[in-house]
A = this chain, B = another copy of it.
Amino acid sequence: MDIRSSMLLTDLYQLTMLQGYMEQGMEDIAVFEFFIRKMPPQRGFFLAAGLEQLLEFLEQAHFTAWELEWIAKSGRFSRSFVDYLERWRFTGDVHAMPEGTVCFANEPLVRVIAPLPQAQLVETRLINLMQYQTLVASKAARSVLMAAGKPVIDFGLRRAHGAEAGLLAARASYLAGFAGSATVLASPLFGVPVFGTMAHSFVQAHSDEIEAFEHFALAQPGNVILLIDTYDTEAGARKVVELAPRLSQQGITIKGVRIDSGNLIDHAFKVRRILDEGGLTHVLITASGNLDEYAIAEIVSSEAPIDYLAVGTKLTVSSDVPYLDCAYKLQEYARRPCRKKSEGKATWPGRKQVFRYYDQHGRIAHDVLTLIDDPQEGQPLLQPVMESGKRHVALPSLAATRDYVSQQLRQLPDSLRRLQEGATVDVKIAPALERLARIVDAPR
């Protein structure tokens, strides 16, 4: 069973509310928008991500026979409701920022326009899909910026929160500019390049470290990257130097070494010297172990001779910001704009567009959030991507999205290209939107 497409992967209240909508015939057009409420101080910008998985979900969404049977047997719902669910499909329109778009708090990343019971029911999975990839892509982009051109690789599957998180983290980080991932399944599913070295257990299973290196080289002659820190990092590097001529006679070249513990900067300098003195100037150094954008910034500013950076857990769980304060809120129903006023959680009503303005160097200056019928001079960020439940046009390939992200990152103001807490871009609320909020709030 593919839990990813199950219609029961939702909150119970979506179903109970749906029965209410059905009974009252409330099937007018609803407009929901997905947005992030606040910038956490550790993030100056986000990269919108997850749209492809969302559109796949919407296109295919339907209740299977066993799901309908379970709902019927649960005793919570009427027979006519189960019949109604059997016919339920998503036939709405979706507007969204293209994946990889730089975005900020209060800006809709996705707008869903559909009959209320359709737009409502997809809420839980929509948030689940959009939040996680946006979270990971946004954090990955920070590593990419700090790495200053060094390739970064995702090693995070094992400590990701479950199967789908590990898989989507590989996609989201590649989209953000990573060179690839260790997660094999991300290659057939998303075309993400996969990378791999060896584990400590391979070394430990041999009684001799140099023998382990040799066996690995023989098994993977085209991809010899040796993990040298199982017992003593510099001793490991000397064994690599000792082994190299022997492998060379068999036509095998050592491509790299990996260091995974201790002070990575310090070890990298020492290992580089040992390799160079041993004539192995071509052997590249990969560093891993507890890396994130902060550690990468240190490595780069130290000028440590590290060629590849592998980032695992802290990326995959977005350890400093493990969730976004995000929501999918009803902004209009049956042509009546509405908003939630709950304390600290009020939202902007109506169908909105984000317009982006640039300075004379092509860097993002500010955004304007307003209603779609209040056009501005700036660049509009939301585009139609789905019409009547079908994808409007083919989404760009992941490779094209990566190029787009790299452009987007070049447009960031300098303050967002550093790890500067609290820096962000101003999102101005247009007078037309302020006005609508006042009208909506007026006592009825």
Q: Which residues of A contact B (CB under 8 A)?
A: 1-4, 6, 8-17, 19-24, 26, 30, 32, 66, 70, 74, 76, 116, 120, 123-125, 127-129, 131-132, 135, 155, 157-168, 182-185, 187-188, 194-202, 204-205, 207-208, 215-216, 218-220, 222-223, 229-233, 260-262, 313-314, 317-319, 322-324, 326, 329-330, 333, 336, 338-345, 444
Contact = CB atoms under 8 A, between A and B. Distances in A.
A204 B13 contact: no
27 contacts: A1-B2, A2-B2, A3-B167, A9-B157, A11-B157, A11-B183, A13-B182, A16-B198, A16-B223, A17-B198, A17-B216, A23-B219, A74-B187, A76-B222, A124-B158, A128-B158, A128-B163, A132-B160, A162-B163, A162-B167, A204-B340, A205-B330, A207-B336, A207-B444, A230-B340, A261-B342, A261-B343
A162 B159 contact: no
B342 A127 contact: no
B158 A127 contact: yes
B16 A220 contact: yes
A158 B16 CA distance: 17
Contacts of A205: 21, 26, 30, 116, 330, 333, 338
Q: Please give me the 10 A-B residue pairs with the lowest Cβ-Cβ distance, nearest first.
A: A12-B196, A162-B164, A20-B219, A262-B343, A261-B342, A161-B161, A161-B165, A13-B196, A201-B330, A8-B185
B19 A219 contact: yes
A3 B132 CA distance: 17
A319 B165 CA distance: 16
Given A66-B188, A120-B201, 7 more contacts: A17-B198, A20-B198, A128-B159, A162-B163, A200-B330, A317-B323, A322-B322
- Greatest chain B CB density within 10 A among A3, A208, A262 is at A3
A442 to B, nearest CB: 12
The binding surface of chain A is classed by DSSP as: mixed
B20 A220 contact: yes
A111 to B, nearest CB: 14
A336 B207 CA distance: 9
A336 to B, nearest CB: 7
Contacts of A260: 342
Contacts of A20: 198, 202, 215-216, 218-220
Contacts of A199: 13-14, 17, 120, 123
Contact of A19 (B187, B220, B317, B333): B220
A163 B164 contact: yes
Nearest to A441: B231
Nearest to A186: B8
Contacts of A344: 261-262
Contacts of A74: 187
Most buried by B among A123, A218, A340: A340
Contact of A162 (B124, B161, B218): B161
A11 B155 contact: yes
A184 B15 CA distance: 9
Contacts of A322: 317-319, 322
Contacts of A326: 159
A396 B296 CA distance: 46
Contacts of A197: 13
B12 A194 contact: yes
A108 to B, nearest CB: 15
B317 A16 contact: no
A339 B201 CA distance: 9
B166 A128 contact: yes
